[in-house]
Amino acid sequence: MTERDGWARLGKLHTSTHVLNTPCLLPVINPNIRTVEPRELWERYGFEALITNSYVIWKHDKLKSKALEDGVHALLDYPGVIMTDSGTFQNYVYGDVEVGIEEIVSFQRDIGVDIATMLDVFGTPDMTKEEVKEAVRETIARAGVSIDAAEGTLLNGPIQGGVHADLRTQSAVGMAEYGFGVHPIGGIVPLMERQRYRELVEIILACREHIPWNRPVHIFGCGHPHLFPICVALGADLFDSAAYALFARDDRMLMPWGTVKLGDLAEFPIATEALAGQTPASVMALADDARCELLARHNLEVTASELARCRQAIRDGTIWKLVEERSHTNAALREATEYLYEHMPAGLVSATNPLRDGGVRTSQDLPTTPPSVAALGRLLTSYVSGAKQAILVSGASGPWRDKIGGLVHTIARRWPDAEVFIETPMGLLPYSLEDVSPWTHLMGPKSIWSSLSEEDIEFDLEAMLAGVEKTVRISIDNGKQMNLELIESALGSGVNREVERVELDRKMIADKVRYFLDVDEPTSEELISNSTFVYSKTHRVRNVHASDGEHLLSPRMRDGGLSLTLEGARRLHGTAIPTVVVNEDSVPFTRKGRNVMHGFIVEVKGELTPGLPCLVEDLNGEFIGHGVSLCTADEVACFTKGIAIKIRDGIGD
C-alpha cells in the first residue's frame, strides 16, 4: 500500500513476474472472440492486467494444446498480468461444467497464469438461504485442495454468501484461513444486472473487515464505471469488465455517470480517442462489427479513466467527494450511498485521517462522510471545558483568527466563564481548534456558515459543555462593537481582568494536543504548563517550548495539525499517545530515524490512525523514536511489506 484514504488505497500486487498497481481494471478477454486484441490493451491502452477464462481454453482442444505448449501469455499475445477464472460462472450460466476442482487449478498453473481462480460455487440471490449456505460451505471445503493444486501460483479465493450478510461474513472468515493471494467477492453479477446496488454495499460491508488487509479484494464482474468510486472507498482493489464489450454489442455506451444508448444521441457528450472525428450518426452508419469495436474501445477508455480518477482521488484525499458526485447519477446508486452513510463501519472511520490538505467542498452529506465523522469523533472525545456560558459565532469561513481573534481575547478578559464556538456546517467548533482541517478548509456559499438548526446546536453544546447555562449567538457580520453589546446584554457587563495572549494560545495548544495525540487533560496540561511560544510574523504560534527551553512541538499552518519534536515525543512516552513496540531487529534502524517496516511491530498500544503521530518503543519499553502512522493496528497484524510508521526522528545510537 502506498497511499490511502480510509479503506481506499493505492497498492502494489506482486505476482511472480509483475508488480500490478491497484486499484486496477482487468478487461475480460474471450479467447474465442477478441473484440480488442490483448496486445493493444497492453501497448495502446496501458492495461497492466486482463482476465480470461481458463475453462473456455480447457474445453477447446486447439486453445488448450497451444496454451499448454506455449503458455497463456503466448496464446493471447499479452505480456502483462493474466488472471484466469475457473468455469464457476459458466456453471452458473449454462450449468454444464464438468471439470474437476483440482484439475482446473492445475491446468491454470500449467499454462502459466499469474493469478488463477479456484472452482467456487456461485450463490445466487434466488437460492434459498440453505442452498447459499451449502455453496459457502462447499467453496470453503474446496479451498485446501485448490491451494495445494496451485503449487505456489497466486490463487483467487472467492467469497460467496448471496445476499445474506451473515453468510458473507462466514465465507470471508472461512476463506481467509487459507493462503489465497486475492479474494474476489463473487456471486454479485445477478445483483448488478438489476441495479441492486444497496445489496452490493451490504455485501461488501459484511465481508471487507474479515478479509486480511494484505490481500487485494476483487469485485467479480463489476465493470460499470459508476460503481468504481463507492467500491474503491470500501476497500476494493481489482475490478474486471466484460461490460465494455457486452454493452457495445447492443449499442450502449458507458459513461462515468451511467449508460447511454448510441441511438439517443445527437452529439457525443464526452470525448474519447475512439470517438475522435465521429458523430453518433457516423458511428450508427458503420457495419455491425466495426461499430461494436469502436464502441468497445470507447467503453474501455471511459472505464479506464474512471479508475484513474479514483486513484487520483485517493492521492488527493477526495474519494468521498467522488462517491458523493457519482451517487447523484443514478437513483439505485444514491440509495446505496445513503445506506452506506447510515451504516458507516467504525473501522473505516478509524482508518481515516481526519486531516485534509486542500479545500473541502460542502454538500448535504459532508458530516456523514468518514473524514468528517473521524474529526467529529475526535472532537467529542477530546474536548474538555467547564464553561458555563457559550458564545456562538456564525457568519464566515475560517481560519477565524484574523476575523475574531481580538474579540475572543476581549471575551476571555471580561467573561472568564464563557467559551467561544464557531458555527460551521459540520457543527460547533471550539475556537481553540479554529485552524484545524477539515473545518478550516470547508468551502461553500456564505449561507453554510449559519446553517445549523437549534437541535444541532443543542446537541453539540450538550456533548461538549455538559453544564452550559447560557448561550449567546452573534455574527461575524455584526462587527466587534455590536457583538460586545449583544454579549453584555445577555451575560452582564463582565469583569475586567488581565489575560495575556499567551494564555489563550496555551489553551489552544492544550486542546490540540488532546485532539491529535489521544492524551487526557492532566497529560496535556503537564506537557505545556509554563510553556513559551515562538511566534510567526502573522502572530501564530510557530514553536512550543517547555519551561526549560526545550522545543516540544509545532502547530502546522497547512492543516492545523501538530508536529512533535523528539523531545516532545519523549515527554509523552508512557501516556495514552498511540505507541508501537518493535522487535530487536528494527531497533537500530528506528534509532537512526529509518522508517518502521511492516513485520517488525510486535504490539500496538492505543489506536493507530493513519496520518497522525505515534511513538516507537523497544521490547524493554524504552522510547526510541517517533513518527506518523501510515496504517491501523489491524493492518499491522497482517501486512508483511511496506512502511508502517514514517519516522520523523530516532533517538540515535
Q: Give the catalytic positions in this structure.
A: 85
Q: How far is the CB of 162 from ligand GUN (least distance, A)?
A: 10
Give, for 295, the enclosing helix (H) or strand (E). Answer: helix 288-316
For ligand GUN, the binding residue among 15, 22, 106, 117 (CB under 6 A) is: 117
List binders of ligand GUN among 141-170 (CB under 6 A).
Answer: 158
Q: How far is the CB of 435 from ligand GUN (least distance, A)?
A: 49
Q: Which of 175, 102, 191, 181 is nearest to 137 (CA)?
A: 175
Does 239 contact ligand GUN by CB under 6 A?
Answer: no
Region label for 618, one of left (φ > 0), alpha (ψ between -120 and 50) or beta (otherwise): beta
Beta strands 49-53 and 183-185 are unpaired
> Which range, of 116-124, 162-170, 291-299, 325-333, touches ligand GUN by CB under 6 A?
116-124
Does 221 contact ligand GUN by CB under 6 A?
Answer: yes
Which residue lies nearer to ligand GUN by CB, 32 or 583?
32
Q: How far is the CB of 87 from ligand GUN (least distance, A)?
A: 8
> Which range, of 86-94, 537-545, 585-593, 620-628, touches ligand GUN by CB under 6 A?
86-94
Which residue lies nearer to ligand GUN by CB, 240 or 435?
240
Which residue lies nearer to ligand GUN by CB, 192 or 376?
192
Q: How far is the CB of 211 from ligand GUN (least distance, A)?
A: 15
Which residue lies nearer to ligand GUN by CB, 54 or 327?
54
Q: How far is the CB of 156 from ligand GUN (least distance, A)?
A: 7
Task: Count CB neighbours of 470 within 10 A.
Answer: 12
| Contact of 379 with 438, CB cutoff 8 Å | no
Which residue lies nearer to ligand GUN by CB, 240 or 559?
240
| Contact of 47 with 27, CB cutoff 8 Å | yes
The 3-state secondary structure of 63-108 reads: HHHHHHHHCHHHHHCCCCEEEEECCHHHHHHHCCCCCCHHHHHHHH
Beta strands 601-605 and 562-564 are unpaired
- Burial class from Cβ neighbours inside 10 Å (0-12, 13-18, 19+) for residue 270 reads middle
Which residue lies nearer to ligand GUN by CB, 158 or 370?
158
For ligand GUN, the binding residue among 42, 78, 89, 421 (CB under 6 A) is: 89
Does 101 contact ligand GUN by CB under 6 A?
Answer: no
> Which range, of 84-92, 136-144, 166-174, 320-328, touches ligand GUN by CB under 6 A?
84-92
Vertex 312 angle, CA 310 and 318, to 5°: 75
Give the type of residue at 253: M
| Contact of 221 with 192, CB cutoff 8 Å | yes
Which residue lies nearer to ligand GUN by CB, 81 or 491?
81
Which residue lies nearer to ligand GUN by CB, 146 or 579?
146
Task: Give the distance from CA 230 to its chain's centroid.
Answer: 10
Q: How far is the CB of 118 from ligand GUN (least distance, A)?
A: 8
> CA-to-CA distance for 408 and 430, rounded, in angstroms?
11
- Burial pattern 161-172, b for ≥16 Cβ within 10 A else e, equals bbbbeebbbbbb
Which residue lies nearer to ligand GUN by CB, 120 or 618?
120
Does 112 contact ligand GUN by CB under 6 A?
Answer: no
Write out the E strands in 520-622: 532-535, 541-545, 551-555, 562-564, 579-582, 596-597, 601-605, 613-617
Q: How far is the CB of 350 from ligand GUN (least distance, A)?
A: 30
| Contact of 27 with 50, CB cutoff 8 Å | yes
Does 352 contact ligand GUN by CB under 6 A?
Answer: no
Does 120 contact ligand GUN by CB under 6 A?
Answer: yes
Beta strands 389-394 and 470-475 are parallel
List binders of ligand GUN among 383-442 (CB under 6 A).
Answer: none
Which residue lies nearer to ligand GUN by CB, 189 or 463?
189
Region label for 430, one of left (φ > 0), alpha (ψ between -120 and 50) or beta (otherwise): beta
C-alpha cell at 530: 509554563
* Residue 68 CB contacts under 8 Å (≥ 6 apart), including other chains: 110, 111
Give the type of residue at 385: S
List binders of ligand GUN among 514-553 (CB under 6 A).
Answer: none
Cell 459484511 locates to 206
Q: How far is the CB of 135 from ligand GUN (least distance, A)?
A: 10
Q: Which of 69, 75, 74 is nearest to 30 (CA)?
A: 75
List binders of ligand GUN among 549-588 (CB under 6 A).
Answer: none
Backbone angles phi, psi at 404, to 5 degrees: -130, 10
**What mask, x for binding ligand GUN by CB under 6 A, covers residues 175 to 214?**
-----------xx-x-------------------------
> CA-to-CA distance for 378 and 375, rounded, in angstroms?
5
Q: How far is the CB of 75 from ligand GUN (least distance, A)?
A: 20
Sheet holding 115-117, edge to edge: 154-156, 115-117, 81-85, 49-53, 24-29, 238-241, 217-219, 183-185
Does 618 contact ligand GUN by CB under 6 A?
Answer: no
Q: How far is the CB of 33 from ligand GUN (least distance, A)?
A: 17
> Which range, of 81-89, 494-502, 546-554, 617-625, touches ligand GUN by CB under 6 A?
81-89
- Burial class from Cβ neighbours inside 10 Å (0-12, 13-18, 19+) for residue 134 reads middle
> CA-to-CA distance for 116 and 108, rounded, in angstroms?
6
For ligand GUN, the binding residue among 220, 244, 449, 516 (CB under 6 A) is: 220
Does 490 contact ligand GUN by CB under 6 A?
Answer: no
Does 27 contact ligand GUN by CB under 6 A?
Answer: no
Q: How far is the CB of 51 from ligand GUN (least distance, A)?
A: 9
Does 86 contact ligand GUN by CB under 6 A?
Answer: yes
Task: Give the distance from CA 81 to its chain's centroid.
Answer: 25
> Which range, of 82-90, 282-290, 427-435, 577-585, touches ligand GUN by CB under 6 A?
82-90
Which residue lies nearer to ligand GUN by CB, 162 or 371?
162
Does 78 contact ligand GUN by CB under 6 A?
Answer: no
Which residue lies nearer to ligand GUN by CB, 120 or 460?
120
Does 88 contact ligand GUN by CB under 6 A?
Answer: yes
Size, binding site for ligand GUN by CB under 6 A: 13
* Residue whose C-beta lies closest to ligand GUN: 186
- Burial pattern 284-312, b for ≥16 Cβ within 10 A else e, equals eeeeeeebbbbbbbbbbbbbbebbebbbe
Does 122 contact ligand GUN by CB under 6 A?
Answer: yes
Q: How far is the CB of 112 from ligand GUN (least distance, A)?
A: 19
For residue 216, is the peptide bond before it cis, meaning its omega torsion is within 30 degrees of 0?
no
**Which residues in this chain contact ligand GUN in the complex, by CB under 6 A?**
85-86, 88-89, 117, 120, 122, 158, 186-187, 189, 220-221
